C-alpha cells in the first residue's frame, strides 16, 4: 500500500483522512499566544486535544511553558516526545494508576498532579514515599463545573492543612477549571460567570498563602474563557486546548476568534438519489456528542451519520428540492463538531499547505485514556 509522503498532493490520501490546514493552525496558535503575552499570563495548553508530542513541541516553540494532560498514559506519551513540564489535570486514584505515575516521576520530576480528597492525597503520599520520591501537587477546586474538585474556602483550606502534614507531597498550586462555561454563547454572561469562578479560585489561593502554603501556580481556563481568566488578578496560567484546531461547537459559541483548521476528508461513494449522497465517514470518523459535523464550504448541505462507516449528505433545508452538486468520487471535507473526541478516532494528522502535505504526525496518544 502506498504511504503518503511529505510533498505529495492531498489527492494521494485515502479517505477518511484527518487533514490540517497549516496556515490556519499556525494562525490560531500565534493569535492565542499574542493575546496572553500582552496579559502576562503563562500558557499551558491542554494536550488532550492534540494528543501529539509533535504538536506539543510546536506549542512550546510558540511560547507555551509546558502542557496539561488528562491522564497518566497521555503523560507517558508526552515525556517520550520530550515534553517534561506537565500537569496531569485529573485525579490519580488506585494502585495501577499510582504505580504508573511513580514510574514516571522517577525520571520526570517536573510532572505535577492534582488532588481533591484526603483519601486520594494519602494514597499518593504513600505511593511516592515508598519509592523515595516527592510529588508536587495542586489542590483541585470545584469552581462550578461540579465534576471533581474540593469546595473553595474552608473545605479547601482544611484539605490543604491535611496535605501539608503529608511528608512526601508539596502543595504548590491550585487548579479550578470552569468547563461548564466554555460554550455559553452570550459573551457577557460567559465573562460574568467566569469572573465569579475566578474569584472563588483566587480567593482560596490567597487564603492558602496566608496559611503559609507556597502557592505559585493558579491554573484554569479553556478556549472559551481563557482571556477572561487571564484578566483576573491572581491567575498565573491558562489551559486552553481546542483553539489549536477549533470545532463547530466552539465556533458557534465564540464566533470567528480562531479558525477551523482541521477537517476530515471523505469521498462520495454512492448516490442513492439526486438529493442525497453517501460518504465514507460515519461514527468511527466523526464524533457526534456535540452535534453533527459540517461539510466545509457547503453551507446548504447537512451531514448525518448512517452507521459506523457511512454518512449521508443532503439538503439542510428539508423542503429544498433538486440535485445535490456532488457526484460519486467527489471529495468532501467535514468540520468536526467536537475536536477532542474526533481526533481520538484517527491515527494520523496530514498537515498541508497550498494543497501539498508538509507534515505527517501520528496521533501518538490516541486511545490513551488510562
Ligand X SMILES: Cc1ncc(COP(=O)(O)O)c(C=O)c1O
The vertex-289 CA angle with 287 and 291, nearest 5°, equals 90
With respect to ligand X, which residue has the nearer C-beta, 280 or 340? 340
Peptide bond between residue 269 and the one before it cis (omega within 30 degrees of 0): no
Which residues of the chain form contacts with ligand X (CB under 6 A)? 46, 49, 68, 89, 177, 179, 182, 222-223, 239-242
Written as nine digits, the cell of 256 is 470567528
Pair 350, 13: CB distance under 8 Å = yes
CB of 339 to ligand X, least distance (A): 7
With respect to ligand X, which residue has the nearer C-beta, 36 or 177? 177
CB of 7 to ligand X, least distance (A): 32
Q: From CA 112, how far away is CA 140, in angstroms rounded? A: 12
With respect to ligand X, which residue has the nearer C-beta, 149 or 282? 149
With respect to ligand X, which residue has the nearer C-beta, 87 or 127? 87
Q: Which of 160, 169, 95 is nearest to 133 (CA)?
A: 169
Residue nearest to ligand X (CB): 222
CA distances from 205 to 102, 141, 199 (A): 27, 10, 10
With respect to ligand X, which residue has the nearer C-beta, 195 or 341? 341
CB of 310 to ligand X, least distance (A): 29
With respect to ligand X, which residue has the nearer C-beta, 147 or 209? 147
CB of 352 to ligand X, least distance (A): 23
CB of 285 to ligand X, least distance (A): 20
Written as nine digits, the cell of 351 is 498537515
Pair 275, 32: CB distance under 8 Å = no
CB of 234 to ligand X, least distance (A): 18
Q: From CA 145, how far away is CA 345, in angstroms rounded? A: 26
Cα 234 → chain centroid: 23
Q: From CA 91, how far away is CA 115, in angstroms rounded? A: 6
Amino acid at each position: 500500500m502506498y504511504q503518503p509522503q511529505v510533498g505529495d498532493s492531498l489527492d494521494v490520501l485515502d479517505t477518511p483522512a484527518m487533514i490540517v490546514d497549516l496556515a490556519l493552525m499556525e494562525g490560531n496558535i500565534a493569535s492565542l499566544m499574542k493575546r496572553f503575552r500582552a496579559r502576562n499570563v503563562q500558557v499551558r495548553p491542554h494536550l488532550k486535544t492534540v494528543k501529539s508530542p509533535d504538536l506539543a513541541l510546536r506549542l512550546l516553540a510558540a511560547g507555551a511553558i509546558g502542557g496539561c494532560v488528562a491522564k497518566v498514559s497521555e503523560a507517558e506519551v508526552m515525556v517520550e516526545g520530550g515534553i517534561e513540564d506537565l500537569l496531569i489535570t485529573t485525579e490519580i486514584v488506585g494502585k495501577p494508576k499510582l504505580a504508573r505515575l511513580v514510574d514516571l516521576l522517577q525520571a520526570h520530576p517536573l510532572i505535577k498532579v492534582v488532588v481533591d480528597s484526603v483519601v486520594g492525597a494519602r494514597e499518593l503520599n504513600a505511593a511516592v514515599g515508598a519509592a523515595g520520591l516527592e510529588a508536587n501537587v495542586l489542590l483541585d477546586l470545584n469552581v462550578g463545573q461540579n465534576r471533581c474538585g474540593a469546595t473553595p474556602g474552608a473545605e479547601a483550606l482544611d484539605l490543604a492543612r491535611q496535605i501539608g502534614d503529608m511528608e512526601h507531597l508539596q502543595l504548590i498550586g491550585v487548579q479550578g477549571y470552569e468547563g461548564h462555561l466554555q460554550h455559553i454563547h452570550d459573551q457577557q454572561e460567559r465573562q460574568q460567570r467566569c469572573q465569579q469562578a475566578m474569584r472563588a479560585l483566587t480567593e482560596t489561593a490567597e487564603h492558602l498563602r496566608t496559611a503559609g502554603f507556597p502557592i505559585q501556580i493558579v491554573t484554569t481556563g479553556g478556549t472559551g474563557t481563557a482571556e477572561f481568566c487571564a484578566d483576573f488578578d491572581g491567575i498565573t496560567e491558562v489551559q486552553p486546548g481546542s483553539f489549536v484546531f477549533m470545532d463547530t461547537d466552539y465556533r458557534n459559541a465564540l464566533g470567528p476568534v480562531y479558525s477551523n483548521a482541521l477537517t476530515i476528508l471523505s469521498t462520495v461513494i454512492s448516490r442513492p438519489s439526486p438529493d442525497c449522497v453517501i460518504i465514507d465517514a460515519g461514527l468511527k470518523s466523526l464524533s457526534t456528542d456535540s452535534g453533527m459535523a459540517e461539510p466545509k464550504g457547503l453551507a446548504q448541505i447537512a451531514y448525518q451519520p448512517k452507521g459506523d462507516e457511512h454518512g449521508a449528505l443532503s439538503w439542510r433545508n428539508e423542503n429544498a428540492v433538486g440535485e445535490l452538486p456532488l457526484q460519486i468520487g467527489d471529495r468532501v471535507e467535514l468540520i468536526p463538531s467536537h475536536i477532542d473526541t474526533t481526533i481520538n478516532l484517527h491515527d494520523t494528522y496530514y498537515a498541508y499547505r497550498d494543497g501539498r502535505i508538509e507534515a505527517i504526525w501520528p496521533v501518538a496518544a490516541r486511545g490513551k485514556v488510562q
